[in-house]
Amino acid sequence: MRCRKCDHKAVINMRQHKLALCKEHFPQWVMEQTERFIRKYRMFERHERLLVAVSGGKDSLSLWDILWRLGYQADGVYIGLGIDGGISYSDTSQRLTEQFAAQRGLQLHVVDIQEEYGSTIPQIANLTYRGQGKPCSVCGLTKRHVMNRVAHQGAYDVLVTGHNLDDEAAMLLGNTLTWNAGYLLRQAPVLPALQGMARKAKPLCRFYEREMAAYALVSGIEYIYDECPHAAGTKSIYYKGLLNQLEEERPGAKLSFYLSFLQAKENGLFNEVFSTGGEADDLTGAGGVAMHPCPTCGQPTTTPAECAFCRMMAKVTR
């Protein structure tokens, strides 16, 4: 397979785009596409301060690398979850993230959950009803809370995450199977700022996971290869598997599923004002949902009382 641009050996063949590129032209293409998506969805501008949530995985480190190369002002935040799972998952991802930032002279905020809240994520999961054998829901809730807090305290304009197309398509499939209108409304490449919460953006939302793995590899980015040890058996992994089967037979199916959803929303599919029918973890105020500041942490929430994170932490410290 030859590169479409220079005829050198291709490192990746993207069937859905009918495009093969070499090790020089592929990273260039990824950067150009990212810039295009940032503009198309009006995610942010060069004068704005970005906070990139970095996990030490291929997506978020590649994203930070791309934004840095494109000349955006991007600091990072790493959240130490205290997950070991026999592979020192958190220690390794922290080391790789710190190494990445040091190599490029980038500023990294590190928040250690155990230091800050007295317990690791698996411990908090054991102490609360949200645990139910798996720490993933506790983990998601805590990460979102901490990211929002660091972004707000640091007066960042935008909180940027490394969600790729596979993540977004799996989330979309899950929300569609249950027709969760509240979540579908809030699933977007960019979400506006709310009182107490920075704007959120996902510049990689149109890249396949394998494209991001290839970008990290070609760019010599050292990232943690292992998945979180708690990820096995989750719904998200199951949906990703289903979508991969679909993609195998119909190249481009995943991208078309996601893009048609965005198009349908733009065409007014969700113009009706929905009520979310309960408290959500990731609040944007979309769809006219009334928001209140949490009396304990100040972050916006749909309940007039404490937010889900503060209620959970009250159980842990009791």
Residue carrying structure tokens 């096995």: 232
The residue within the footprint of ligand FES, chosen from 67, 81, 243, 313 (CB under 6 A), is 81
135 binds, among Zn ion, ligand AMP, ligand FES, none (CB under 5 to 8 A by kind): ligand FES
* Terminal-to-terminal C-alpha distance of the chain: 61
Q: Are 121 and 135 in contact (CB under 8 A)?
A: yes
DSSP assignment letter at 73:
E
- Which region among 5-13, 73-81, 256-264, 293-301 touches ligand AMP (by CB under 6 A)? 73-81
Asked if residue 201 binds ligand AMP (CB under 6 A), the reply is no
- Site map (CB under 6 A) of ligand FES, residues 213-242, x = contact: ---------------x-xx-----------
Asked if residue 54 binds ligand AMP (CB under 6 A), the reply is yes
Asked if residue 312 binds ligand FES (CB under 6 A), the reply is no
Asked if residue 173 binds ligand FES (CB under 6 A), the reply is no
Asked if residue 206 binds ligand AMP (CB under 6 A), the reply is no
**228 CB-near residues (< 8 Å, 6+ apart):** 83, 85, 89
Q: In whole angstroms, how close is the CB of 204 to ligand AMP at the nearest point?
A: 8
Q: Are 187 and 287 in contact (CB under 8 A)?
A: no
Asked if residue 168 binds ligand AMP (CB under 6 A), the reply is no
Q: In whole angstroms, how close is the CB of 136 to ligand FES at the nearest point?
A: 4
Q: In whole angstroms, how close is the CB of 76 to ligand AMP at the nearest point?
A: 8
Amino acid 252 reads G
d(CA 171, CA 158): 22
The pair of structure tokens assigned to 160 is 């940027």
Asked if residue 290 binds ligand FES (CB under 6 A), the reply is no
Interacting positions 119-148 with ligand FES (CB under 6 A): 135-136, 139
Asked if residue 261 binds ligand AMP (CB under 6 A), the reply is no
- Which region among 156-164, 175-183, 206-214, 237-245 touches ligand AMP (by CB under 6 A)? 156-164
Own/partner contacts of 229-237, CB < 8 Å, gap of 24 or more, are: 229/83, 229/84, 229/85, 229/86, 229/87, 229/89, 230/83, 230/85, 230/134, 230/135, 230/136, 230/139, 231/136, 234/134, 234/136, 235/174, 236/167, 236/170, 236/171, 236/174
Please provide residue 198's backbone torsions phi and psi, each rounded to the nearest 5 degrees.
-70, 165
- Site map (CB under 6 A) of ligand AMP, residues 132-151, x = contact: -----------x--------
Distances (CA, A) of 23 to 28, 32, 252: 9, 15, 22
If the CB atoms of residues 143 and 186 are measured against ligand FES, the closer one turns out to be 143
Q: In whole angstroms, how close is the CB of 208 to ligand FES at the nearest point?
A: 21
310 binds, among ligand FES, Zn ion, ligand AMP, none (CB under 5 to 8 A by kind): Zn ion
